[in-house]
Every structure is written in structure tokens, then in C-alpha cells.
Amino acid sequence: MSLPSLFLAWIEDLPPRLNSVKKTRGIPLTMHDGVILKTDHYAPKAEGPHPTILMRLPYGRSGFGAICEAYAERGFHVVIQACRGTERSGGEFDPFTNERADGLATLEWIKSQPWFDGRIGLTGPSYLGYAQWAISDALPPTAALATKVTTSNFRPVVFPSGAFHLNLWLSWVQVIEGLRSRPLSTAARMFSGDIERRTERAAAVLPLIEADRKAVGHKIGFWRHWFENAIGNDDFWIDLDHSHRLSETTPPVHFISGWYDFMLDPLLADYQRLVELGHTPYLTIGTWFHVAEELQRDNLRETILWMRAKLMGDDTGLRKRPVRLHISGLEEWHEFDHYPPGPPQPLTLRISGPGELSPHAPAGTGSDTYRYDPADPTPNLGGAIFAFTGAGAVDQASLEERDDTLVYTGPVLTRDLTIIGPCKASLHAWAALPHADFFVRLSDVDPNGVSRNICDGFIRVTPETPKETDGSWHLTIPLHATAHCFRAGHRLRVLIASGAHPRYARNLGTDEPINTAKTLRANDIELFHEGTTLTLPTYVVQ
């Protein structure tokens, strides 16, 4: 037992260690096209048979060594592989493109090993989860998946609501490039906030195709390939979309995510698809963001229990109800049979006057205006972003005080109000330019006046977006799913803006291609009180 695995066992309250581990590192696996991928095998030093766990990742094997050892110490063979073009594996890293073929070749190798007994589990967060879905339809009969903060289809992650997820990809290329060439200094940059600072600087570059140079100091092949081929090109995404692999024969799946994860809604779409197909997947969602330490701690224990139940037939540690949700505000975990837990009681809030939000008063008849200037774009502040610092719920004061945001606040609540699921905003708006973005954020204002973000939504409109005869839009914007209790004495607040930079690439106000656009045009926005609402899915939680 190594010190890292011992620490994991203690901090995560893992089941008892069963055996020691034999490690074989740097196994050269040859793919069908001759490229060699470096692979490690952690084997239990105990009489078998033992099921196998597979993880394929682009972040380097060494950082996952303690996790592999923890699985192997509890009776699993573990195979971990560096994806093509990462760490010491051969070939060129082209995100998503090779995970189907390389994953199938790796699966063939595992099946040919004398220690493989026919049982296999796939696990891992984010990109590792996507690699699971890529081969999920080719697994043997006794198999299981634990997919975390991920999705089977990354197109809505790369281009949410028609925009480009700029923060995610500028930060991610720094991680990928840094772990490949400077792993220790890159790890330090994650904790110091330097990743986010460099993302801010790179996001200011125009045209955006040159932002990779600012982020990592040189051109990134896949960054430029995406800008030149992926935008508005349906054919580009066909082979990269694995959502069709979710079927009646999909192995048992445990989904794990966070209310502030930017992939939460696509993950929930995968969950709902399996439910519709007759499965009973497990679902665990905490008040976490994508790289939250608490999420990483929780998912290891959950995965061990899940794999024991589905691969070993030992369900003694598995909870009885499949859905477990953390409700912020209450700061409590609750278990349910389904997600959502039942039909909600919708509550609709309206703008009843300047800065006022009301669940009872009729909508006001006025309007409010602001100017969105891409030369000084409305910033993002916290929320469901890919960031090592600054993600999740944060004080919204600096954002709410800006001239390019509108803020509406409800009355003090006389009793608790709990929401579970996605809220929905309806906006009645007009803009001087036909290219505009709309960002809606719901926040919780405590008795001290501190406003913290709960969930938000975004939409990009273009000249093709249907308009009313007066030139205005009626827009429907789903906010990402959440579970939160607004306590008595608190207030609800809605913020409306036309950007959240660099989370979403700023709208420049023109129809220039996003990769080469440099022209900046400010846009005057008008929001009409009548026709602008927010609908909340409320529940009474016992």
C-alpha cells in the first residue's frame, strides 16, 4: 500500500483493503493502425478470478496511480491507458476522434489476457467518461459504467446554445499541453489561479483562432481544426456523437455530477434516455463544480460500491434508492426513486416594476435598457464553468453593479422555497443589432444582502431567429438544472445580461465568422416587463 492510496482510503472512507498490488507500467499496446499507446496494469496479489476496471485518459497515467491502486487493493484488475498523442503514447491527439477505435482495440487486448474473467467496468470523469460511451455498446455481458461529469455527445458542450464555450477550451488546452510537457508546474498553476488568468488574457485576443498562441505559446492543431471545420458543420460531429449507443442493452450506469458542472444537462439527457429505455440508472448529484475536490472524493467510494454490486454481485454497500441529490440551502442529501422526483408545482415570477420581481403582482408595462459593448464585455462570475478557482456559487455584487446588467429582486420569503430541476426564463426583448446574446441568472440573496448564483441559462440570437412584427423577440431560455432551497428570510434575484465572457465567446455584433472576426459593434438592448417571466419547478421535500 502506497502513502497516496492509504490517504485516499482514509479521506474517502473506502471499504477495507483486501490484497496487495502488482504494478506493470508502460505496456506498449499496438492499435490497428500501428500507433503504440502506453498502458499500465495494476493486478491484485490474490487468487482470482477478479473483474477488470478500464480507464482511458489524456491527462497522464501517474496522476491517477493512487486511484488505480485503491481499486486494485479491493479486488479489481485495473488497466489505465494514455490516449493517443498524450503523455508517452504515440500518434497525434485529436480530441474525441480516436476514442472509439483505440478503445475497441484496447478492449480486444484485455479480452485476450489470461487474467481477464469476462467482467469489466469502465469509469472516470469528463473525457474519461466520453471514452466510456465510445465503446459502451461493445462490452461483454457482465459490465458496468460509472460516468462522471461527462456526456456521450460533446457538441452541445463545445457550442452551447449556438455560442463557443471559450473558457472551457482555452483552459483545457492549457491543461492538456501543460501535463504533457510540464506536469508539476501545470499542477501548481491549477491551484494558483494562473490557468484562469491566462484564459482571461487569451480570450481577449482577436481573431479567436489566434488565442491558442496566447494560451500556450504556440499553435494547437485541433484548436485550429475545430475553428475551420466544426462550426456549423453537422457532418463533423456524426462520428464523435455516441448518444446512439445508449440502448436497451447498455450495461448498468451510475451517473455522477454536480449542480455547477457545465456538462450537467447533457449528462441528465443521457440519464433520461436510459430511463426511457427501461433502465434504472443510478444518479448522484452534489453541489459541486467540474473539478471540485469533494466530487473526486465521493466518486471513488461510489464507484467501488457500484462495481462490487454490478460485477461481483455484492450489493451490501449500495443504497436502496437510485437517485441521491444534494439540496443546497438546506445543505442536506435526499434520496428519491426518480429524477425529477415527481411533477413539480410551477411557480412563475414576473417583473412587476423597475428592479422588482413578484410571484403575485401582475407584470409591469414598462421596459429597461442597457448597452452591451464587446470591447468591454459583461464578464462571467462563478457558475458552471471549467475552472480550478472561481467556479460555483460566488458573491455576485460586482456583476450586479454593472451598467450592462439588469437586476430584479423578489420580496423577502416568509417560508422555505425548494426547487429541483431546470428553471425556465421567458424574455420579451429587442436589440438594435440582430446579433445578440441573452444570459439569465437566478441568485439567492441572504438576509445580509449577499447574492450568490444558483443557476443560469444562455441563448444566442441571429437574423434567422423569429421576430414579432415590431422587431422584438419572445425567447425561451432553459436554465441549467439545480436543487436549492431559498430559506425563509431570503430573496430571489434574477440578473439579465448579454454576455458572460469568457465563459461564452463574446458576441461581436456582426456576422463575421467566429474564427476570423475582429470588428466590434456595441448593441442597445431593451427588455420589456410584460412577457418576461421566470418559472421555477418547486417541491415540498420531506
Average pLDDT of span 92-107: 97
pLDDT at residue 183 tops 80: yes
Query: CA separation (Å) from 84 to 91, 102, 417?
Result: 5, 8, 49
C-alpha cell at 251: 450495461
Which residue type, as a one-letter code, is found at position 97? Answer: T
What pLDDT band is residue 191 in, cutting at 50, 70 and 90? Answer: confident
pLDDT at residue 377 tops 90: yes
- Distance, CA of 507 to CA of 497 (rounded, Å): 12
Per residue in 195-240, pLDDT (tens digit) is 999 999 999 999 999 999 999 999 999 999 988 998 888 899 999 9
pLDDT > 70: percent of the chain: 98
Which residue type, as a one-letter code, is found at position 466? Answer: P
pLDDT at residue 180 tops 90: no
Cell 453541489 belongs to residue: 287
Q: HSE, CB side, 13 Å, CA atoms: give it for residue 265.
A: 19
Distance from chain centroid for Cα 70: 25
Phi and psi at residue 274, to the nearest 5° = -65, -40
- Distance, CA of 233 to CA of 230 (rounded, Å): 5
pLDDT the model gives residue 181:
79
Name which residue leads in pLDDT, 48 or 487: 487
4, 69 contact by CB (below 8 A): yes
Least confident of 26-30, 230-234, 346-350, 455-459: 230-234
Instruction: List the one residue out of 110, 40, 102, 112 whose CA is nearest residue 72.
Output: 40
Scanning 420-489, the segments in alpha helix (DSSP H) are: none
Per residue in 430-463, pLDDT (tens digit) is 999 999 999 999 999 999 999 999 999 999 999 9
- Distance, CA of 337 to CA of 301 (rounded, Å): 21
| Count of C-beta atoms within a 10 Å radius of residue 471 | 10
Phi and psi at residue 472, to the nearest 5° = -90, 165
What pLDDT band is residue 363 in, cutting at 50, 70 and 90? Answer: confident
What pLDDT band is residue 14 in, cutting at 50, 70 and 90? Answer: confident
359, 410 contact by CB (below 8 A): yes
What pLDDT band is residue 360 in, cutting at 50, 70 and 90? Answer: confident
Average pLDDT of span 19-44: 98
Kind of pairing, strands 253-260 and 282-289? parallel
257, 285 contact by CB (below 8 A): yes
533, β-bridge pairs: 350, 426
Least confident of 3-7, 51-55, 87-91, 497-501: 3-7
- Distance, CA of 77 to CA of 116 (rounded, Å): 8
Instruction: List the one residue out of 104, 108, 98, 96 whose CA is nearest residue 137.
Output: 104
C-alpha cell at 337: 426513486
The one-character DSSP state at 297 is H
SS3 394: coil
pLDDT at residue 281 tops 90: yes
pLDDT the model gives residue 272:
98
| Count of C-beta atoms within a 10 Å radius of residue 161 | 17
Average pLDDT of span 59-85: 95
Q: How many helices (H) and strands (E) does the chain have?
A: 14, 23
Average pLDDT of span 63-80: 95
Average pLDDT of span 133-150: 97
What pLDDT band is residue 1 in, cutting at 50, 70 and 90? Answer: low
Phi and psi at residue 152, to the nearest 5° = -80, -10
pLDDT the model gives residue 362:
81
456, 385 contact by CB (below 8 A): no
481 membership: H or E segment, kind and range: none
Which residue type, as a one-letter code, is found at position 450? Answer: V
Which residue ranges form the domains of the chain, and what is each CATH number?
3-245 (3.40.50.12270), 345-539 (2.60.120.260)
pLDDT at residue 298 tops 70: no
CA-CA-CA-CA dihedral for 197, 199, 203, 206, to nearest 10: 100
What pLDDT band is residue 63 in, cutting at 50, 70 and 90? Answer: confident
474 membership: H or E segment, kind and range: strand 473-478
- Distance, CA of 299 to CA of 239 (rounded, Å): 29
Provide the mean pLDDT of the chain: 95
C-alpha cell at 510: 456582426
> Residue 486: which residues within 8 A CB-CB, separation 6 or more?
329, 413, 416, 417, 418, 419, 444, 492
66, 72 contact by CB (below 8 A): no
What pLDDT band is residue 297 in, cutting at 50, 70 and 90? Answer: low
Least confident of 118-122, 176-180, 295-299: 295-299
pLDDT at residue 488 tops 80: yes
Average pLDDT of span 365-371: 95
pLDDT the model gives residue 415:
97
What pLDDT band is residue 128 in, cutting at 50, 70 and 90? Answer: very high
